[in-house]
Amino acid sequence: MESTIYCFSGTGNSLKVARDIALELKDTEIVQICTNNMNIDNTLSNKIGFVFPVYASGIPFLVKKFIKEIRLKKDAYVYTVVTFGSAAGASIKQLEELLTDKGIKLSSAFKVKMPGNYQVIYAPYSEEKQKECFDDEKEKISEIVKSLNNNEIVGFSGLGESLMRTVGGMIYGSFSPYKKDKDFWTDKNCNGCGTCSKVCPASNIEMMEGKPQWQHKCEQCLACMQWCPQKSIQYKKVTIKRGRYHHPDVDVTELFHL
């Protein structure tokens, strides 16, 4: 393929963005970042994108590991699109540094606001607010694709960006997702369907005696909780009466990591 997008997505926001970009770019392959694809160590594409959500103001741990291991063409046009609910934080700067360590230049960086999905802290966006995000995403994708087709250099700078990177870096420094899965549990509605295990990009869930067991290598993407068809996966007690969210235009099977 002339173009490849490496995408990490839990609830479908980033996959939707990657899919929309690929549709307009043409001749573009989407490869999902998950433990099953960590052995991809070389890409010959001339245009390479990394699309992922912002976690704790930074890069998801699995994405960071993937980027450290993959080999890219030195002269490739490399870009990123980060999806976020509140702010991009230090994510773009972190990616830039990871690529610099590999001798690769980050040519362009873009940000797309999508509905927040971290329901262990807050409730899902209202349908009206979700629609605003989706409408804005369509416009943003057109702008992004125009820049990508022209191989434009697009960066972020200024006092606001610098402050966001600094604060974001401080927040990310305390981010420790792996063992947060100890607070997941299932209520009586769990029927052992195994959807949670299939959508987990970190292969962190094993089904034992018909029930999910988390293995303490969690990314905190919440795919397991958000895609559970019975809404039976809870986090502590805070999600019992809280709604769920996943992108309405993404089918759960698109995120199965088998």
Q: What mean pLDDT do residues 20-31 have? A: 95
Q: What is the pLDDT of residue 157?
A: 52
Q: How many residues does the chain have?
A: 258
Listed residue (142, 151, 110) closest to 14, CA to CA: 110
Q: What is the pLDDT of residue 158?
A: 45
Q: What is the pLDDT of residue 167?
A: 56
Please tell me which residue, 141 or 56, carries the higher pLDDT value. 141
159 pLDDT more than 60 = no
Percent over 70 (pLDDT), the chain = 93
Domain 3-173 grouped into CATH 2.60.40.1180: no
Q: What mean pLDDT do residues 245-257 have? A: 98
Lowest mean pLDDT among 32-41, 220-229, 241-250: 32-41
| Phi, psi of 32, deg, nearest 5 | -80, 135
Burial class (CB in 10 A: 0-12, 13-18, 19+), 184: buried
Please tell me which residue, 161 or 83, carries the higher pLDDT value. 83
Q: What mean pLDDT do residues 175-191 have? A: 93
Lowest mean pLDDT among 42-46, 55-59, 92-96: 42-46
Q: What is the pLDDT of residue 160?
A: 47
CA distance 211 to 191: 8
Q: What is the pLDDT of residue 176?
A: 83
Q: What is the pLDDT of residue 134?
A: 98
- Specify the CATH number of the domain 178-255: 3.30.70.20
The model carries a pTM of 0.94
C-alpha pair distances (Å), 147 with each of 97, 134, 140, 143: 22, 20, 11, 6
Q: What is the pLDDT of residue 166?
A: 58
Average pLDDT over the chain reads 92
Task: Please report, to the nearest 10 degrees, the dihedral formed by the alpha carbons of residues 166, 169, 171, 175 taken in order.
Answer: 180
What is the band of 120 on the pLDDT scale with cuts at 50, 70, 90? very high
Q: What is the pLDDT of residue 96?
A: 94
Domain boundaries, the chain: 3-173, 178-255
Q: What is the pLDDT of residue 170?
A: 63
What is the band of 217 on the pLDDT scale with cuts at 50, 70, 90? very high
